[in-house]
Chains A and B, each alone.
Chain A
């Protein structure tokens, strides 16, 4: 590390800056500074082979990455808002999320997704205790905390304590139901429409539906 000027001792700032000798500030570590992991090497190798053998082009690879990165919770929020204003749509969404998304021109991909409805008796929250399964096409890439061991292990062990840390307090007489997406399905929470939103149109309603509301670590607020 010291070759990069990243040595901690060199970066000490106990002295003032009114000095004339040049000294090297510690650099923020680059992603590559930690060395490549086994799977990073494997990924790079497979990608290089696919390019070399002309199975895919660099442009196709770039576009796919860009497309994955462009997914956002706005897609899921539009679906939730539509479900709030249109009970027939809500029924279709609870029956088949992918087909319901298609009605709104949203590509939800090919992995089955279930919408789980919050009621006045049940609050739902999703996790993948094994890895990071998540309905990416509808709510974007998962946040780092969703993939972290702390959330994955604690939300099934003490869900109410975890929800409290997110500022979400579930009354004792309600059931907290944790959904562990361990296999071939993905889950999104269909939160309840907050009171006091009767005058809002669909677009304004969608703005209330954040990512965490669809994970279940938060509930929509009427502002």
Chain B
């Protein structure tokens, strides 16, 4: 199955703050990570929350962020990561300049 973002794609999370029920945590908005897994297709929770059917289903991606990209003053290991499940409509292809700490060759899988 083809998805909008292949595994290994560098993606940025929308820096938007819409009202309503949203499953994208604030701390990753505007941040850049790498798609490490495609979790599958799921009804859109932003629609389900209001009694609608959530269809068409959206692709849910597992996106791995380097801690250093999330928290500039991160004091733990340089390779430490956080993996967050994010729906496709929150993601866009990352600019080459974004997420500098994540430019290494690590596969994060």
Contact = CB atoms under 8 A, between A and B. Distances in A.
* Co-assembled chains A and B: yes
A35 B86 CA distance: 37
Interface residues of B, number: 25
A112 interface: yes
Contacts of B23: 130, 182-183
Best-surrounded residue of B71, B75, B82, B83 (most CB of chain A within 10 A): B82
Contacts of B81: 175-178
Contacts of B87: 183
A179 B86 CA distance: 12
Contacts of A156: 27, 70, 82
B47 to A, nearest CB: 13
A6 interface: no
A159 interface: yes
Interface string B5-30: 00000000000000000011101000
Contacts of A130: 23, 25
Given A157-B71, A160-B76, A176-B76, A182 B85 contact: yes
A182 B77 contact: no
Contacts of A158: 75-76
A191 to B, nearest CB: 17
Contacts of A178: 80-83
Contacts of B76: 158-160, 176
A129 B25 contact: yes
A185 B39 contact: yes
Contact of B83 (A170, A174, A179, A184): A179
A151 B77 CA distance: 19
A175 B80 contact: yes
Interface of A: 112, 129-130, 156-160, 170, 172-185
Given A130-B25, A156-B27, A182-B86, 9 more contacts: A157-B27, A160-B77, A172-B77, A175-B79, A175-B80, A178-B83, A180-B25, A180-B83, A184-B60
